[in-house]
Amino acid sequence: MPRARRVESVFLNIPYDHAFEELYLAYIVGLTQLGFRVHAALAVPNQGRLATIIGLIEQSKFSVHDLSRVEVSRGVPRFNMPVELGLALYRSHVTKGKHRVFIFESKAHRAQRSTSDVNGIDPQIHRGTPKGLMSALRNIFRQPGDVTTVPQMLASYRAVKRRLPELRRNAGSQSLLAAAIFRDLTVLSLIQSQQLIAERT
């Protein structure tokens, strides 16, 4: 009997705002569909958050950093994503590459200008769409023997998206960025992933 593949963790570093909700959902569904457990600062209480983020990065074999929204917001640059990227890069350095860092952007060549110290890392370009994001995730994370396709990933994304009104009601929040909804999304995404696997066998 073949041994089950170990479920690895991915630290997800993205902007948490309403305009990013579709890609936020696509990241959770896509990474889960590809067999990963998602860690994110979103599920962490504000008190002691930095130490907890460092711990989540240390627990994760991979980290994904979306730099598509580091522009000025309300007159202030958005530094959270670059700070968490810096922590992950240091983790990769001290582990001699055992922690692997991936950068995502919506536009080609912009990350090289906004964060020039990472010019040795080629960003994945998702063009701001769930389909582009799914394609980029599959490009770097597809495991040998995994036959999951982008259309299947998008079908799971749409299935989870249809359940959002229910998740919002259950959490008593309209924002997908509530910690309780994050947990519900990861569970629902896992159920969709298992259904996809069952359909293929």
Q: If DSSP states are collapsed to H, E and C, what string results for 6-36?
A: CCCEEEEECCCCHHHHHHHHHHHHHHHHCCC
Phi, psi (rounded to 5 degrees) for 28: -65, -45
Phi, psi (rounded to 5 degrees) for 73: -130, 120
pLDDT tens for each residue of 36-64? 999 998 877 666 788 889 999 999 999 99
* Domain map (residue ranges) of the chain: 9-200
pLDDT tens for each residue of 2-25? 444 567 999 999 988 888 999 999
Spatial strand order of the sheet with 100-105 comes to: 37-40, 9-13, 62-66, 100-105, 124-125
Mean pLDDT of the region 158-183: 88
Is residue 137 pLDDT above 80, yes or no?
yes
pTM of the model: 0.88
For β-strands 62-66 and 100-105, DSSP reports them as parallel
pLDDT tens for each residue of 140-161? 998 877 778 999 999 999 999 9
pLDDT of residue 116: 56
Mean pLDDT of the region 94-106: 94
Identify the architecture of domain 9-200 in CATH.
Answer: 3-Layer(aba) Sandwich (3.40)
pLDDT of residue 142: 85
DSSP letter for each residue of 61-110: SEEEEE-TT-S-BTTB---HHHHHHHHHHHHHHHTTTSSEEEEEESSTTH
Provide the token pair at 131.
């389909």
Q: Is 101 exposed, middle or buried, given 0-12, 13-18 or 19+ CB atoms closer than 10 A?
A: buried
As a whole number, the mean pLDDT across the chain is 85
Q: What is the rounded end-to-end Cα distance, in angstroms, of the chain?
A: 16
pLDDT of residue 55: 93
Name the percent of the chain lying above pLDDT 90: 51
Provide the token pair at 56.
């989540």
Is residue 78 pLDDT above 80, yes or no?
no
Is residue 1 pLDDT above 80, yes or no?
no
Q: Which residue has the tokens 């090289």?
A: 112
